[in-house]
Structure formats: C-alpha cells, structure tokens
Amino acid sequence: MTIPNRFDHSEAAPQISRAWEDAGCAHAEVDHDREPFCIVIPPPNVTGALHLGHGLNNTLQDIVVRVKRMQGFQTLWMPGTDHAGIATQAVVERRLKEQENKTRHDLGREALVARIWQWKAQYETRILGQLKRMGCSCDWRRTRFTLDDVCASAVRATFFDLFGKSLIYRGKRLVNWDTFLQTAVSDDEVFNETSKGSFWHIRYAVIDPKPGEPKHVEIATTRPETMLGDTAVAVHPDPEQALEKVEQELRAKLAEANEKEIPEIKTQLQDLADRRANMLPKLLQLRDMALDGRKCMLPLVDREIPLVADIWAKPALGSGCVKITPAHDANDYEVALRADLPMINILKPDGTINGEGGKYEGLAIPKARKQVVADLDALGLLGEIEDRDIELPHSDRSKTPIEPYLADQWFVAMDQLSQSAMDAVTDERVKIFPERYRKGYLDWLSEKRDWPVSRQLWWGHRIPIWSANLPSQQKAAELAAQVEKLSAGSQDQITHRVGENEDGSYSLFVCLRDENESLEASVEALGLERDPDVLDTWFSSALWPHSTLGWPTRTPELEYFYPTSTLITSRDIITLWVARMVLMGLNNIGEVPFREVFIHPKILDGLGETMSKSKGNGVDPIDIIDRFGPDALRFGLARLATDMQDVRMPVQYECPHCQKLIDQTKKSRSLATLDCPGCKKTFSTQWAESDADLAHPRAAVVSERFESARNFVNKLWNAARFVLMNMDRYQPQPVAIESLPLEDRWLLSRLSTVTQQVTDAIEHYHFAEAARVLYDFAWDEFCSFYIEIAKPRLSDDGLRATTQSVMVHGLDQLLRLLHPSMPFVTESIWGFLNEAASERGIPEPVSTAEFVMTSAWPDSIRHHYDESIERQFTEFQEVIGAIRRIRASQQIQEVVPVSIRCSAASEKLLDPMRPYFASLAGADIVQLGPEARPFEMDAPLAIPSIDIDVHVNLEEFIDFDAELSRLEKLRDQLDKQINGKKQKLSNENFVSRAPQNVVAKERETLDDLLRQRESVEGDIQRLKAKVE
RNA sequence: GGGCGAUUGGCUCAGUUGGUUAGAGCGCCGUGUUCACACCGCGGAGGUCACUGGUUCGAAUCCAGUAUCGCCCACCA
C-alpha cells in the first residue's frame, strides 16, 4: 500500500472536489421516496470577499448538510449571493471617485449599473470560489443571485400582492439622508460618532410683546442652521405638572439609589427646585401665549412662526422651549403633525441649502452654520455657547454625516405581517437556538414599525410603480379608467390606487406585476412615469427561501423542499433578515420558511473587535487554507462554535519570507508595510497601495489558532497510514463480538458512545462539543491506546486477522464521523482504504460506498456499549499511567520489571493485557495478582480510587532523593485531601442531609485515601531506612 | 436609558441537571526519535473559577449586588 507520508491538501483537495462534482454528490433532485432536508445559504454580499465569519457560517451549514446527506435525507444546500444594494453601489461609487474622480451622475444610471454588474461578476466568482475551496457541498447548479430573473419575478409578485392588499403605501418620512451617496439609508446603516461640537443658545423675538411678557424666547441647538426651517417654537402645555412628574421619578430613583448615585440625583432635584422657582412662571406665561396664538419672529429669514404648546418641550431641560424643525428632526416632525405645522425642507439632495434658506442658498451645511451663527451674533440674538460632545449620525456606507431629511418613501405596513411572524415563533413553528435570541426577535417585531422599502439608488430591484400627478380627483379617476382598459387583457398584471397629496393634488399609482415591456410602454404612453427608486435589499433577501425554489411558480422543488429545515446565521441580522423571511414566507406561501434557526457566534479579533476589511483585521479563509488546509480551517472553526455570542481569534501576519507569524497590534494593522522581526525583511499588508509598498510580497493574515486542527489532520492521516501499512493479507471475515478480547470490545463500546454523542451534539447545534468528542476519541483513545495495543497483536499470526477487521472498522467509523467537519482528508483516506479493504465492517463485512461523502452515517450500536468493559479499560489505563509516572520521575530508559498487587477481579482483567505493557509503558510484568509482593527496592504507586498497587523494581535506577521527595509530596497531597474529607464527614448536616449515595461515596473515597496514605508512609519509612 | 452576553492557569477556550482532587489546545519545564506521526511520544509545573453578599450539608455552576469589557436597541432641542 503506497500512501504518502504527508497529506498534501493543496494537491488532493482540488481532485477530490472535482470527483464529487463529477459524481454529482451534492446535487439534489426531488425524490418522494426520501425525506427532504434543505438549507438556504445566507447569501453573502457581493460587496467583497468572504472573511472568517462567513467561514464559520458556511462550515457549520456544511457540517449539518453533510451529516443529513449521510443520514439518507435528500439534502439540498441552496447557494447564492446577495446584491446588497446600497453597500455594493457605495463601494463601486467610492472607487469611481478615487480612480476616475467621477460621480454616478457623470456616468448615468445605465453605465453605473453596468459597472456594478462587472463588480458583482468579479466578486461572485471570488466568493463562490472561496466556498468551493472550503469544501461547501452546495448544489452549485442551482446557484441564485438576489437580482437574477427568478428572484426578480418573486420580488415583483410580492410587491404586487402587497400593493394590492394596501400593505404597501406611499408616505412622508424623515429619512437618514446620505448627502454623499444622495440616498436615504436605513437606521441600521447608520452609526454614531462622537465629536466635539457646540450648543448654541439663540433668542427669537416675540412679536408685539405685551407689558410683562417676555420679549424673547430662548432655544438651544447643536445645529443652528436648521433654524432656517423652523416653523414653530414649542412649550409644554402643562409645565407645572411635567416638572412634578420628573421630580416624582427622581425621588423614586433616589429611594433605590446606591451611595454613588445619590449626590447626582440630589443635584438634579435641586436644579428642578430652582426651575420651579425661577422658570416656571415664565413657562406658564409662554404657554398661555401659545394658547393665545401668539407668534415669534424667526430671524434671518424673517418668518413669523407660532408658539405652540406641545408635550415634546421638556420644562426640565434647557430653557424649556424648543425650536421645531419638522423637515429635519424626527421628533419635530411628530410635533408638526400634531400641531398641523408647515414642514419646510431647507436642503438640496447634495446637502446644500435650498431656496428656502434665502441668502444662505447654495451653502454647504458647515458654511451655512458658520454664517448663521455669525449673523445671529451680529443681530445680538446669540446667547451662551457651550462646548459639548455630540453624537453625530454617520452613514455606514459613505462614512459621511447623515442629515435628517423629509422625503416621500414607500412603506410596507407591518402590523399584520409582524404579528404573523411573532406568532410563528411564539408557538414554535419556528424554533430559535440558542433560545435567548427569541426575545430580541419578538421585541423588535412587537414595535410593528412600518418598513420603509424605497431607496434612492440605482442598484437593485426597481420599484414597479408608475405614477402621475393630477390636479383633481376627477382627472385622476379619468386616468385610472384608461389604465383599467389596459389591464383588460391582463387582469392579474396591473393594479392601481389614487392618493391625495398635501397640496391638494392627486397621484395615480399603477403597479405592474411582471416585467412586460409592451405593457410598461402603454402605461408610460398615458403619461405615467416610473418611480426611479429601488427596493431595500432586504426586500429580496426576505423572499430568499422561496424565491430560490422558484416561487411564484409552484415548482416541484418548492412543494418538496419548502419549508426548509434550518437556517444558520449570525445574530446581527436576526431582525433585518430572519424576521422578515418569516413574515414574507407566511404572506407568500402561508407557511414558515424554516423550522429551526441556529444563531452562531461572531468572530472577534485578538483585541475584541469584530472583523472587517476596513479595520484590517479581516481574515480571508483562503489565507488559512493555504497555510493550514481546508480541513484544519473547518475543524478549527467548528470547535469555536459554542453557545457563546462571541469568540476571540487573535490574528497574525504571516511573513511571506520566513513564514513567521507576527501578532497584529492596533498599530501594526494599519500600516502598509512591516518588517519581520524574524528575518528582518520587509513585507506589505492589505493596506499597501503605492508601487514602493507593493514591491514587497504581501503577508497573509492568519491565525495560529488553526495549528492544533492542522496537527489533528496530520494525526488522523498518520493513524490511517499505520492501518493501511498493516493491511496486507487482510481477508474480510465475519467477527463474533462476544469472542473479541477486551481491547476490541472497548473500542466498539467507545465507538457506540462517541457516535451517539456526536450525532446528538450536531443535532442540537453543539458543534464545538462534537469536535471535541471526536478529537479526544481519535487522538487519546484510537491512536494512543487502540493502535498502540494493535502493534503487538498484528505481529501475532493468531490475532492478526481479527485485529485487522476491528481496526479497519474503527478507522472506517471514525472517517465517517469526522467527514462532515474534515471532508477532504477523510475522503482522501477513504479512497486508500477502499483499495486496501473495500469490504469491511463488524460483525459482517460489507462493501462500502465509493465516497465517504455518500456513505451512511454511523448508527450508535447500543449493544456494543458495555459499561463494565469501559470501566475495566480505564483501570488498565490508570495502571499504565502509574508506571509511566514512575519511569519519568526516575528517568528510567530500559524496560523495567513491575509487580502489580491487585484484586482477583482486576487480575482477570490485567492478565490478558500483559503483552501491551511493553509498548505502552516499557514495563515487564513479573508478578500480578493478590499475592504479588513489592521488590526489595521498589517504587510504589497506589492509584487513586482503584484498589491496585503498582511496584516498579528500581534496583538499578533508583535516585533516592528524587523518589523520597516524590513520595513526600504525594503524602502531603493525600493529607490535604484526607483532612478535607474528614471535615466533611464530621459535619452532621452533611451526613444527615446529603443523599446517601453521595455520603457513601465520600466514605469510600476517604477509606481509599487512608489506605494510600498508609502505603505511601510505609514506603517512605522503608526508603529512609535503606538510605541510612 | 433598556436588553443580551462575557469575566476560569501566560494566551484562547471547555465545564451538561449544584456533589470525589476544575479540564483541553497553544506556550513553558524535563525527557525521548530504526519500527504511523517531532504537525510526534511520555511526564511535569501552572488556577483561592472578576469581586461582595446570599441560598444550600455542599457553589465555577443557582440568586442579588459591584466592577471591567463587548454587542444590540432606544434617545440625546
């Protein structure tokens, strides 16, 4: 048997992938004779390449998918990518700006979209390539893209349906306006950044103040330029009561406060009392003026604005009055709705002041702010200026500040839809693991906030709405009638609605179901214009589980695989994505999209930060694969998948010259080049851009946390080599379990247990546990004991054949169990194993599948489990360990004679194991049994909790001092434990209240310890006597 | 402000329903290569389980509080 002495993954993996592909191992067709199992991939964004977070996500999916496939399910893993609307457009636009200094408007819609398609093609290829190299067993023939025709028709059908049900509507909304990208971004795409700013106090003059009335109202703002859009100043309708309420709350807090908090609360209470005394009369006065319809003069633009009474004005804060800028502040917008105030938008889409701003028109915000402040100062209307830390919202996409901005948007009404998705989780039609994530899901949905779905972008599903503005309801109805005529031939293709606008005009909205150029042309011929916006990217993602299966067509795949079985994803998109898939699935199909959701941890770097390209700590799985191999990547990731919400993964640069790993630090990960501390040569990092930097070879970003997984792959490979090198003269033969010796029975028993544990663990998404169980079994049991014991047996002609049968079976089962997490190395070994022993198995050999990938998942064979055999074997292992410890402490090189005093029962066990003491512990058993006597000069070692004394003949090796100190240390340890136990057992409460079996166990252990101590003490005395 | 999570040897993490002496990998120390594997074998050192209280015969584990760190959500004239 020729098997290379190293597993070369770079050579083997591509061949294995091709073989699987050629055999169609991962392809799934509808098969009603088998039960379906389906997972849809969380489609990675085509924004960029995958990092380790995706690596983990897809490894876990593949593990589940491979297990299910081996278990005989008709298993489909649906692959694909997401167009990621705003993210992708932003990346391409940024590059356009950097490389060609052009904006999207220079290019135009079509050309920009064409560019993004190019980008998509490039990254989709890269992403799918990454997944393939990781060994993901997706059904690649079914690969989808959220913007492809199949998904598009699902989007259109859904939009049409919701529009028809009036669940999609047009409304005004304060959006997060990104002035760079000139689009609204969702709340989720906004991050806050704290920066130094000022808090300006400004006075507005009261018009015609009566005697005794204030001449000014004072307001304060961090954004003074927004005053250009002010349409009111608000004061609380009942400031006295409001203050009282705040005070009550503070007192309640004070009652529960700890010492630290008390002074602060007291200060606040004092402030409140001051306000009552000094400000309340003025606020009451202003409130009365507001109710009286009095007005202020808005300076600079000289507009009369009313004083209004509104609860939004908090008398406990600032001056108690607040400026109202409905078009640029969410709360003010609410106030304006309540008080029926005009809303004045002062910004152009590019973030400069528009015509409403009078002489400030055309100024960008920072300039306008400066000017407004200066002019107010000149008018003497500027009060105090405080320095303040201000949290400014920024666009996650363009990294520029967000401006709140009132715009027309399309919304999905979420009331019913959210409720349906909540019910699905509450009544466990969808189960979420770990369970703690249910709460976040339910809380978010329970707010039932309407979903703004339009985006002012060019990359995405274009909103299928055509509209026209009409001066009257009459005209709108007439146009609607014409549209009706168009729909005569296509009843289910076209629908419309009329809406009234603020200015009294009417809008006709027409929604077309499918893409249909002639119909569109007819609609446009009637003077309707297509909405320029596209849909939020999550709109198409929400349909993913059914759109990929062909919906709205009722395909056989849809009928068979939907609802899918499970969804494996990370926690940041539980609301954005998971919740929306549930409600869309329920709306479109009437059935949940998946039965279970598993949320896996996020991978953080060594500094505890999430990985991302922009931080420079993102790890490309390919870099890990190049260095450690795909199996090590996967196994290493799988053992990280615990119940935790985060796992930490310190990352290193790999020196391209000497392969040394260099820890990343906050500083080093932002540099373009670094010098290797090992070989002193320079390498470039992912930040390298200049030619000078790029002249140095690039360092991969890796993590040494994959080392032990790589070593494990090597260990498995070598265990397999050993088996294969000992397969000559192998004959498949039936094996009678009962006739097997202890070590074989032990292996079979352990296999039964391990199989059960691994199967259960994966079933419950405990991937780390499955990995650990397999690692320990393979390394510490199969390799360290079974193979070591097999060595002498294989050279014994009488035992060789059985040994081969059991050993091959063990390897076979281990390969199957490990295959889902380490597909390549197991498949490679499987191939060799099939050459050496195509028929194998216990008790009856059978011929095996060509691929381990398509072989059957092992059953846990109950009757192979034998508790007493496992316990006996543990005793044997303890004895081996005891001899090894003595050898190590005495530095013994040669084979040593050993005598073992044990019970008759243990003798029965240990006697057949005699031959293996030589290879496992370098020991030759000369006496064994109750009658065994210590040597003249020996090293005793009692074994905890087992009634066995081991004596090693030290005549030729003994180092008295070493032995004496070892024994004394042992005695001290025993004393400590004995005292602990004695104390415990003398505690009457323990004896009377603890369960009897626990007490009995403690007594037993104490007896044991006492016996050991006695023995050790005797040994010490004897040794001392010898020395003297 | 609300919620979630974490804190266990130098590092990264396990630790099922409370019950002998808290485990692993890496690192460290000692030792060993003809006979599967130095990406290895064998042995060892190293932890008052963040802190304070409580429940209990018994707490890394359950409860309350404190501290530190991280994440999510809301809000900030």
Alpha carbons A104 and A523: distance in angstroms, whole number: 28
- How many Å does it take to go from CA A914 to C1' B25? 33
Per-residue DSSP letter, A209: P
Whole-number Å distance, CA A857 to C1' B5?
35
H/E run at residue A538:
helix A537-541
Distance CA A448, CA A417 (A): 8
Using the structure, give the distance in angstroms from the CA atom of A821 to the C1' atom of B36, rounded to a whole number. 22
Core vs surface per residue A353-386: b (16+ CB within 10 A) or e: bbebbeebeebebeebbebbbebbeeeebbbeee
Strands A190-206 and A652-654, by their bridges, are unpaired
Q: Strand B: which bases are under 7 Å from protein Cβ?
A: 3-6, 11-15, 19-21, 25-26, 30-32, 36-37, 39-44, 56-58, 65-67, 69-77
Query: Tokens for A681?
Result: 């040569």
Those residues with Cβ within 8 angstroms of residue A59's Cβ, 6 or more apart along the chain or in another chain = A134, A633, A634, A637, A638, A821
Judged by C1' against the alpha carbon of A784, the nearest nucleotide is B41
Query: Between the ranges A99-108, A307-316, A654-663, A838-847, where is the mean pLDDT highest?
Result: A838-847
Bridge partners, A883 (sequence order)? none
SS3 A406: strand
Q: Are A229 and A344 in contact (CB under 8 A)?
A: yes
Per-residue pLDDT, A263: 65
Q: Alpha helices of A294-414 — where are they, by DSSP H?
A: 330-339, 365-378
The Å distance, CA of A218 to C1' of B76, is 19
**Among all strands, which nt has the closest C1' to A199 (CA)?**
B77
Are the beta carbons of A651 and A668 closer than 8 angstroms? no
Under the banding of pLDDT at 50, 70 and 90, the label for residue A439 is confident
C-alpha to C-alpha distance for A277 and A273, rounded to whole angstroms: 6
Residue nearest to nucleotide B36 (CA to C1'): A722
Q: What ranges make up the beta strands (E) of A231-279? A: 232-235
Question: Nearest residue to nucleotide B5 when comparing alpha carbons to its C1'?
Answer: A645
- pLDDT above 90 for A828: yes
A258 CA to B52 C1' in angstroms comes to 15
Q: Give the closest nucleotide to A990 (alpha carbon vs C1').
A: B57
Token couple for A659: 């392969």
Contact (CB, 8 A) for A200 and A276: no
- Residue-wise pLDDT for A26-48, tens only, equals 999 999 999 999 999 999 988 88
Q: Nearest CA to the C1' of B24 belongs to which residue?
A: A772
Nearest to A541 by CA among A157, A145, A61, A146: A146
For residue A260, what pLDDT band results from cuts at 50, 70 and 90? low
| Protein CA at A122 to nucleotide C1' at B37, angstroms | 42
Sign of CA dihedral A394, A399, A403, A405: negative
Structure tokens at A589: 């199909």
Residue A715: predicted pLDDT: 94
The integer distance in angstroms from the CA atom of A822 to the C1' atom of B36 is 20
Shortest-distance nucleotide from A435 CA to C1': B4
- Tell which wins on pLDDT, A248 or A847: A847
pLDDT at A908 over 90: no
- Digit-coded pLDDT (tens) for A638-696: 988 887 777 888 788 888 887 777 877 767 777 788 887 777 788 887 777 777 777 88
User: Cα-Cα-Cα-Cα dihedral of A600, A687, A689, A701, to 10°?
Assistant: -70
Q: How many beta carbons lie within 10 A of that of residue A119, not counting itself?
A: 19
**Which residue lies nearest B19, CA-to-C1' measured?**
A998
The number of residues in chain A equals: 1028
Q: How many Å from the CA of A253 to C1' of B50?
A: 28
More confident residue, A755 or A4: A755
Cα separation, A664 vs A727, whole angstroms: 47
Classify the C-alpha dihedral A320-A321-A325-A326 as positive or negative: positive
**C-beta separation of A403 from A351 below 8 A:** yes
Instruction: Return the nearest residue to B74, CA–C1'.
Output: A444
Element (H, E) at A941: strand A938-942
Taking only the tens place, the pLDDT of each residue in A954-980 is 776 777 777 777 777 777 777 777 877
Question: CA(A832)–C1'(B5) in Å?
Answer: 46
Q: Give the single-character DSSP code of A690.
A: S
Q: Could you give the residue ranges of the DSSP H alpha helices within A201-279?
A: 239-256, 261-278
Rounded CA–C1' distance between A762 and B17, in angstroms: 20
CA distance A733 to A843: 8
Tokens 């060799």 belong to A832
B32 C1' – A889 CA distance, angstroms?
Answer: 14
Determine the distance between A605 (CA) and B11 (C1') in angstroms: 13
Nucleotide with C1' nearest the A187 CA: B73
Please state at what angle helix A437-446 crosses helix A415-426, rounded to 10 degrees. Answer: 160
CA of A808 to C1' of B38 (A): 26
CA A521, CA A737: separation in Å to the nearest integer? 78
Which nucleotide is at minimal CA–C1' distance from A893? Answer: B32
Q: Read off φ and ψ for residue A187, nearest 5 degrees.
A: -55, -35
Q: Percent of chain A scored above 90 by pLDDT?
A: 30
| Closest nucleotide relative to residue A887's CA, C1' based | B43
Residue A613: partners with Cβ closer than 8 Å, 6 or more residues away: A48, A51, A686
Please report the sign of the dihedral spanned by the C-alpha atoms of residue A316, residue A321, residue A327, residue A328. Answer: negative
Nucleotide B43's nearest residue (CA vs C1') is A888
Taking the CA of residue A833 and the C1' sugar atom of nucleotide B59, their distance in angstroms comes to 50
Q: Which residue in A310, A147, A171, A154 sits closest to A242, CA to CA?
A: A310
Please state the rounded mean pLDDT for residues A127-133. Answer: 94
- Which protein residue lies nearest to nucleotide B76, measured between its Cα and the C1' atom? A391
Closest CA to A946 of A1023, A1015, A878: A878
Give me the CA A781–C1' B60 separation in Å, rounded. Answer: 28
Closest-CA residue to A665 (of A610, A624, A616, A698): A616
Name the nt closest to A643 by C-alpha to C1'. B5
Which of these ranges, A92-101, A594-603, A798-807, has the smallest mean pLDDT? A92-101
Protein residue closest to B25, using CA and C1':
A708
CA–CA separation, A906 vs A928, rounded Å? 9
Instruction: Report the protein residue whose CA lies nearest the C1' of nucleotide B21.
Output: A977
For chain A, the average pLDDT equals 85
Query: What is the pLDDT at residue A256?
Result: 59
Taking the C1' atom of every nucleotide in all shown strands and the CA of A628, the nearest one is B39
* Nucleotide B5 C1' to residue A755 CA (A): 32
* Confidence (pTM): 0.87
Cβ burial A853-878 (10 Å sphere, 16+ → b, else e): bebebbebbeebbbeebeebbebbbb
Among the listed residues A224, A209, A527, the one whose alpha carbon sits nearest the alpha carbon of residue A374:
A224
Protein-to-nucleotide distance from the CA of A847 to the C1' of B42, whole angstroms: 39
Nucleotide nearest to A921 (CA to C1'): B42
Highest mean predicted confidence (pLDDT) among A18-27, A207-216, A489-498: A18-27
Nucleotide B35's nearest residue (CA vs C1') is: A791
Nearest CA to the C1' of B69 belongs to which residue? A608
Coil, helix or strand at residue A144:
strand
Which residue is closest, via its CA, to the C1' of B11? A650
Considering A195-204, A689-698, A866-875, A971-980, the range whose residues carry the highest mean pLDDT is: A866-875
CA A575 / C1′ B44 distance in Å: 51
Helix (H) or strand (E) holding A702: strand A700-702
Nucleotide at minimal C1' distance from the A313 CA: B77
pLDDT given at position A539: 92
